[in-house]
Amino acid sequence: MSSVSTSSPGVRQENFRFRCIACGDLSDAASQDFRCGHCGDLLEITYPTWNEKKPDAAKLKSAWQKRRLSSSPVDLSGVWRYRDLLPALDDEQQVITLREGNTPLYELPRCTRITGVQRLFAKHQGMNPTGSFKDAGMTVAATFARRAGFRWVACASTGNTSASMAAYAARGGIRGLVLVPEGKISWSKLSQALDYGAVTCQLRTDFDGCLKLLQELVRQAPVYQLNSINPFRLEGQKTLAIELLEQLDWQVPDHIIVPGGNLGNSSAIGKALLEMRELELISRLPKLSVIQAEGANALVRTLREAGGKRLVSVPAETRATAIRIGNPASWKKAAHVLEATGGACEQVTELEIAHAKAEIGAEGIGCEPASAVTLAGLKKLVKQGFVKAEETVVLVLTGNLLKDPDFTIDFHRGEMFGGGPDSAALDSLRHPPIVLDATLDAVMRTLEKFN
């Protein structure tokens, strides 16, 4: 099996190494399945140079601010702007970027009232170039794939990873291979992969089956894996948390709430928080909580039934297809950051997801169903007393509303939870389209009805 080295031949020593999350083994190279050569567990990226000379927090903050005025591609990227905390490149021209990151932080006044917390924000990662948080990780991992000389990159996906990978592969002039579960991802996401020119295979299995096959493939073929097992992805996704803190003027929120699927994103955000505290960019940690769909609740069960010691995998089923994952690869990393930050792990029903999604939509923001688990979860955490009324909360909205129009249309047309016992609570949030004759009278009468 070929390996992915941290250093290119003839190039200066890198600023990072790979560390196994279980046995702690340090190495300069990773095998293509990104697993430890000794114990087989996942790898993470670590920066030994910080032990010798810690980057200065005030200098970092000022450099990041200054870069906002620059027009160079690495500074315009809301990921590479924070490159001091990322694996270093020999040459900034190597970067494959679509100006990712730079995502807005919105206040949510309606949802603040609904949940009763003091301040509620949404960090909207759905405003990335391909409409999801995946772009932040993909710019880093695709850049390192090309730099290591790979001609092919590949991923298994519930849709967003494939859309993002296909875009970055196209921009970087490398080939992309996408493995998605047939019939179980939204057309919007599939159409992105097709348009960006990836070789797209719809496999007759679920996401977990696709990922298993990909792991076998990368052991046999010179294909670079771009799932979140790839630690470069998580380094890029870390910048979400750095940008968030910068937007909050380094005032630490009490809670950050994130959806959980394969659990890469929660692991990345947690790593960023721990590193920011280590570097004294922040003096305390927010509690990082993960919310899952009840039908895809592997981490919830792993923590409740096995004390976080072994993975309890589940047969996954949810209409929030992005997080329809039963065997999450990064469960150990996520369990670690939950414990380190004192966060919670909750599950929410399909009805609660639909309800919360409509409430986020009614703010004029919108998101895809998987992102709405955050608001649904917050309501539960407030009820349980875990989140207090005087606290500040940030929801990470991971995907754009346009990613899953079928869900939204079905909801508003009453084809989802319509007529059932729970329908009444949802009806005030439904805005079905109205078919009319093309007359002024018909439109005027409709206007009056809603007045």
Closest separation in Å from C-beta 35 to ligand F0G: 18
Closest separation in Å from C-beta 254 to ligand F0G: 22
| Cβ-contact 397, 121 below 8 angstroms | no
The whole-angstrom separation of Cα 158 and Cα 176 is: 16
Q: Looking at beta carbons only, is 281 or 354 nearer to ligand F0G?
A: 354
Closest CA to 181 of 374, 317, 82, 44: 317
Residue length of the chain: 451
Closest separation in Å from C-beta 399 to ligand F0G: 3
Closest separation in Å from C-beta 323 to ligand F0G: 5
Q: Looking at beta carbons only, is 193 or 281 nearer to ligand F0G?
A: 193
Crossing angle (nearest 10°) for helices 134-147 and 231-247:
140
| Cβ-contact 342, 314 below 8 angstroms | no
Q: Looking at beta carbons only, is 200 or 371 nearer to ligand F0G?
A: 371
Closest separation in Å from C-beta 158 to ligand F0G: 4
Question: And the tokens for 28?
Answer: 């300069």
**Footprint on this chain of ligand F0G (rule: CB under 6 A):** 132, 157-161, 228, 259-266, 322-323, 368, 370-371, 398-399
DSSP strands (E only) in 294-416: 345-348, 392-397
Closest separation in Å from C-beta 204 to ligand F0G: 17
Q: Looking at beta carbons only, is 88 or 199 nearer to ligand F0G?
A: 199
Crossing angle (nearest 10°) for helices 231-247 and 57-67:
90
Q: Looking at beta carbons only, is 174 or 397 nearer to ligand F0G?
A: 397
Q: Looking at beta carbons only, is 281 or 293 nearer to ligand F0G?
A: 293
DSSP strands (E only) in 100-151: 105-107, 119-124
| Cβ-contact 139, 146 below 8 angstroms | no
3-state secondary structure of 178: strand
Closest separation in Å from C-beta 259 to ligand F0G: 4
| Cβ-contact 153, 177 below 8 angstroms | yes
Q: Looking at beta carbons only, is 286 or 399 nearer to ligand F0G?
A: 399
Q: Looking at beta carbons only, is 298 or 416 nearer to ligand F0G?
A: 298
Q: How many CA atoms lie within 13 A of 83 on its CB side?
A: 17
Q: Looking at beta carbons only, is 176 or 260 nearer to ligand F0G?
A: 260
Q: Looking at beta carbons only, is 89 or 234 nearer to ligand F0G?
A: 234
The whole-angstrom separation of Cα 356 and Cα 344 is: 19
Question: And the tokens for 227?
Answer: 């799932």
DSSP state of 35: B
Closest separation in Å from C-beta 90 to ligand F0G: 29
| Cβ-contact 75, 68 below 8 angstroms | yes
Question: And the tokens for 124?
Answer: 């909207």
Question: What is the DSSP annotation of 207-228?
Answer: HHHHHHHHHHHHHHSSEEE-ST
Q: Looking at beta carbons only, is 262 or 289 nearer to ligand F0G?
A: 262
Residues 148, 146, 242, 246: what is their CA dihedral angle, to the nearest 10 degrees?
130
Question: What is the DSSP annotation of 148-168?
Answer: TT-SEEEEE-SSHHHHHHHHH
Strands 119-124 and 392-397: parallel
As a three-state string, the secondary structure of 373-425 is HHHHHHHHHHHCCCCCCCCEEEEEECECHHHCHHHHHHHHCCCCCCCCCCHHH
Closest separation in Å from C-beta 267 to ligand F0G: 8
Closest separation in Å from C-beta 192 to ligand F0G: 11
CB atoms within 10 A of CB 11: 12
Q: Looking at beta carbons only, is 281 or 373 nearer to ligand F0G?
A: 373
Closest separation in Å from C-beta 133 to ligand F0G: 7
Closest separation in Å from C-beta 162 to ligand F0G: 6
